[in-house]
Amino acid sequence: MLSNHSTSKHLFRVSILTGALFLLGSCDLHKPLPSDLYPEVDQWSILLGDGTTSQHLNDFQHKEFFTTEKDNEGDWIVFKTPNSGITSRTSSNTRSELGEIRKWTLMEGGNLSATVKIMHTTASGNPSVPAAFSVVIGQIHSVDGHENEPLKIFYRKYPGHKLGSVFWNYEINTEGDNNQRWDVSFPVWGNDMSVCSTAADKFPDEPEEGIALGESFSYSVSIDKGVMTLEFTHPNKSTKRFKKSLIQSTYSDSASIPSQVRQWYEPMGRKGLEQLTAYTGELQIFKIGAYNQSNGKSSSDNLVWHTDAETYQGNITEQYKTGNYVEVWFKNISVEH
């Protein structure tokens, strides 16, 4: 039998051990909120993959769409969205995406930068459709006129491939009927959007210089007096820079239509020209997050953007279970005007 003194020492040790386990468990269970990692998140509103929105993002998270994770590189804000849910009135594609609240003109300009890595791309789709298996991770979006997009930054990786491609698209601000609009695509690491499979039952060749899932890189977007400068950086790759005027069109006559546009859009009857002044005078916003380009629409209706992906009638739980979603992690987000 233990003495009273021994009993008290024994209970004291149990108490200390229990307290230590409790504290350890509390630390393991605690995850920071997105606003803990990015206090300026109140500059944005969010649209989630189930169609819900919020303009009050301090202390806000959603475990299925907008949360945080930690790995050996530190803390990350996580955006996740299925192939099918509920989305905005101007798009067929679901997203968990921040949209800037402030609206600005191209002459006012602004800067957006972030470090990002893509953790998952969808498991299904038609590889002969350029948009299939891709996700948009950054945008400039016009909120005037046709509400077109002078910038979309993409990542696309096919199932079974180790490496995916990073590229960016410019969407013309169409003169006249916006049903004639098209995108032109520029490669960063890997291929541009137009390089895809020649058949729905096989994947294209893997890009030689691509980016793997879980591999971090950074991008910056700078708008100065209507001219956009893009910079893409990676610890082990050469930096890529691009410059494009957003106020003076380079696609205002038929001779300037790129060959990739003629290949993909003209068969759909799209061969529009751009306004000479492009996006001049229109208000813009930045967007960041996971804008899933895979959808369940039939490619027979649109050769470029309808991807024949699995959607399980919009059942988000089933899509997550079967890998039919995208997931993108962000850190070091910065916006300046």
Closest CA to 218 of 109, 141, 333, 336: 333
Q: Give the pLDDT band of residue 256 (cuts 50, 70, 90).
A: very high
Is residue 8 predicted with pLDDT exceeding 90?
no
Scan for tokens 């696309």, then name that residue. 156
Q: Give the pLDDT band of residue 237 (cuts 50, 70, 90).
A: very high
Q: Give the pLDDT band of residue 30 (cuts 50, 70, 90).
A: confident
Look at residue 289 and give its three-state secondary structure: strand
Q: Give the pLDDT band of residue 88 (cuts 50, 70, 90).
A: confident
pLDDT of residue 29: 61
pLDDT of residue 22: 35
Closest CA to 50 of 314, 321, 320, 327: 314
Is residue 33 predicted with pLDDT exceeding 90?
yes
Is residue 9 predicted with pLDDT exceeding 70?
no
On whether the CB atoms of residues 185 and 126 are closer than 8 A, the answer is no
Beta strands, E only, the chain: 44-47, 53-54, 66-71, 74-82, 95-100, 110-120, 134-142, 151-156, 163-171, 183-189, 211-212, 217-224, 227-234, 237-245, 284-292, 325-336
Closest CA to 151 of 104, 183, 193: 183
Look at residue 296 and give its three-state secondary structure: coil
Terminal CA-CA length for the chain: 75
Mean pLDDT of 255-280: 97
Lowest mean pLDDT: which of 16-30, 49-63, 81-95? 16-30
pLDDT of residue 241: 98
Scan for tokens 């060959």, then name that residue. 259
Residue environment code for 128-156, b if the CB has 16+ CB neighbours within 10 A, otherwise e: bbbbbbbbbbbbbbbeeebebbbbbbbbb
pLDDT of residue 84: 94
Scan for tokens 């468990």, then name that residue. 25
pLDDT of residue 87: 83
Lowest mean pLDDT: which of 92-96, 116-120, 156-160, 223-227? 92-96
Mean pLDDT of 66-80: 98
DSSP string, 142-170: E-STT---SEEEEEE--TT-SEEEEEEEE
Mean pLDDT of 226-240: 97
pLDDT of residue 20: 39
Scan for tokens 């400068």, then name that residue. 229
Look at residue 68 and give its three-state secondary structure: strand
Is residue 301 predicted with pLDDT exceeding 80?
yes
pLDDT of residue 92: 75
Mean pLDDT of 104-128: 98
Give the tokens for residue 188. 């960063």
Please tell me the distance from the alpha carbon of residue 80 to that of residue 100, in angstroms, as a whole number: 19
pLDDT tens profile 192-219: 999 999 999 999 999 999 999 999 999 9
Average pLDDT of the chain, as a whole number: 92
Closest CA to 161 of 213, 124, 125: 213
List beta partners, residue 230. Answer: 221, 242
List beta partners, residue 287. Answer: 99, 139
Say yes or no: domain 32-336 is CATH 3.30.200.20: no
Radius of gyration of the chain (CA): 23
Scan for tokens 């945080």, then name that residue. 68
Please tell me the distance from the alpha carbon of residue 53 to that of residue 101, in angstroms, as a whole number: 13
Give the domain ranges of the chain. 1-30, 32-336
Is residue 24 predicted with pLDDT exceeding 60?
no
Give the CB-side neighbour count of residue 29, counting CA atoms within 13 A.
6
pLDDT of residue 206: 97
Q: Give the pLDDT band of residue 86 (cuts 50, 70, 90).
A: confident
Is residue 21 predicted with pLDDT exceeding 70?
no
